[in-house]
């Protein structure tokens, strides 16, 4: 399939253009996944805000995560759908820069936010009597603020350095997204320093939060081993299990791309791995949290009953 040449300073997102039949299948799957992402994460935000029983630190952070997922998908998927649907594979230089900055900021924010959520679970399981004191609203807001600021800080540094690299007219990006590992390959200068800098940033924003998550769950496992209550184990697995599944999915895929961006595995399978953490995981997050969480399912049922009873009252008037 021929790819339209870029006009002026536009970039060409090669994406999956060498597999036109796959593009048609991906268009349908990505569209369905994006709609589910919007509906599922919006539902979690609304339920957490409207149901007083869910106005706790855990759901405050979950609301932040859902908002990040909505914005993260929106920064990538509309452009991906446009490129999958038609012959035009271009994105303007401004659009590429915006996508790079926004998606990197939100992805970095999610890395830190997942670590914050692990700390919240540690406080809930290991310090249950002091949980309300430890996780007071001001600390929750500060921790969420740290997550957002770290994302913004990382994207300002990484994005700016990447976009300032000389490209000598190279505009063909062998990816479906303007992402740092793909963008630095366009440079016509030695990029070893950039690769080292990307690796160091990935260590800080991927492996450091992941280490904190593992330490938190190590303490949680120790606390649970001392308790022999099946009820306590069930409650802990209900709240921690969902978070662990999300952690494994998100960190497993993003680490494969960012820690070894020049490995043969990252180059050959990178587009499909990126599809997982940019399109699939934001769709799965609300499903994982709602299907495994009795509180969220109960809140949804209460809101549905409230809406139906309100509707009946209006009709009876």
Question: From the CB of residue 105, how many other CB atoms can be counted at a distance below 10 Å?
Answer: 24
> Once rounded to an integer, what is the mean pLDDT over residues 224-248?
72
pLDDT at res. 225? 79
Residue 102 has pLDDT above 90, yes or no: yes
What pLDDT does 308 receive?
Answer: 56
Say what the pLDDT of residue 126 is.
86
Is the pLDDT at 237 greater than 90? The verdict is no
Stronger pLDDT, 237 or 8, i.e. the higher one: 237
Q: What is the 3-state secondary structure (H, E, C) of 235-272?
A: HHHHHHHHHHHHHHHHHHHHHHHHCCCCCHHHHHHHHH
Q: What pLDDT score does 6 carry? A: 47
The residue ranges of DSSP E strands in the chain, in sequence order, are: 11-13, 90-91, 172-173
Q: How confident is the model at residue 231 (pLDDT cuts 50, 70, 90)?
A: low
Measured between alpha carbons, how far is 57 from 32 in angstroms, rounded to an integer?
31
Cβ atoms 90, 96 nearer than 8 A = no
**Could you tell me the pTM of the whole model?**
0.86
- Ranking 25-39, 70-84, 237-251, 283-297 by mean pLDDT, the lowest is 283-297
SS3 content of the chain, % helix, strand, coil (to 5): 80, 0, 20
Top CATH class, 11-297: mainly alpha
- Residue 68 in this model has a pLDDT that exceeds 90: yes
Give residue-wise pLDDT tens across range 21-67.
888 899 999 999 999 999 999 988 988 888 777 788 988 999 999 99
pLDDT at residue 130, rounded to an integer: 87
pLDDT at residue 129 in the model: 86
**Chain-wide mean pLDDT for the chain?**
83
Domain spans of the chain, in order of start: 11-297
Check residue 264 and give its pLDDT: 44
Say what the pLDDT of residue 47 is. 86
Strand partners, 172: 12
Q: What percent of the chain has pLDDT over 90?
A: 36
Give the integer Cα–Cα distance in Å for 298 and 264: 47
Tokens representing residue 90 in the block: 């271009």
User: Between 19 and 296, whose confidence is greater?
Assistant: 19
């Amino acid at each position: 399939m021929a790819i339209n040449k870029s006009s002026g300073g536009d970039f060409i997102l090669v994406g999956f253009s060498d597999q036109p039949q796959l593009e048609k299948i991906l268009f349908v799957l990505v569209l369905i996944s994006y709609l589910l992402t919007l509906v599922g994460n919006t539902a979690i935000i609304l339920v957490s805000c409207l149901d007083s029983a869910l106005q706790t630190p855990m759901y405050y952070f979950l609301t932040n995560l859902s908002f990040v997922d909505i914005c993260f998908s929106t920064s990538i998927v509309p452009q991906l759908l446009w490129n999958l649907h038609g012959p035009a594979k271009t994105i303007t230089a401004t659009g590429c820069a915006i996508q790079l900055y926004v998606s990197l900021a939100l992805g970095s924010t999610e890395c830190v936010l997942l670590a914050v959520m692990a700390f919240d679970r540690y406080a809930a399981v290991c310090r249950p009597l002091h949980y309300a004191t430890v996780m007071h609203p001001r600390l929750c807001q500060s921790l969420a603020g740290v997550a957002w600021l770290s994302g913004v800080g990382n994207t300002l540094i990484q994005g700016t350095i990447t976009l300032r690299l000389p490209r000598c007219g190279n505009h063909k990006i062998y990816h479906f997204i303007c992402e740092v590992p793909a963008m630095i390959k366009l440079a016509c200068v030695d990029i070893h320093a950039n690769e080292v800098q990307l690796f160091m940033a990935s260590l800080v924003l991927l492996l450091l939060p992941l280490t904190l998550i593992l330490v938190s769950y190590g303490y949680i496992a120790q606390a649970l081993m001392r308790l022999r209550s099946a009820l306590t184990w069930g409650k802990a697995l209900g709240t921690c299990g969902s978070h662990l599944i999300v952690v494994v999915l998100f960190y497993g895929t993003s680490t494969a791309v960012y820690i070894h961006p020049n490995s043969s595995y990252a180059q050959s399978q990178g587009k499909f791995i990126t599809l997982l953490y940019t399109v699939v995981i934001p769709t799965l997050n609300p499903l994982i949290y709602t299907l495994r969480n009795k509180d969220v399912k109960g809140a949804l049922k209460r809101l549905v009953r409230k809406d139906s009873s309100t509707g009946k009252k209006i009709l009876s008037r």
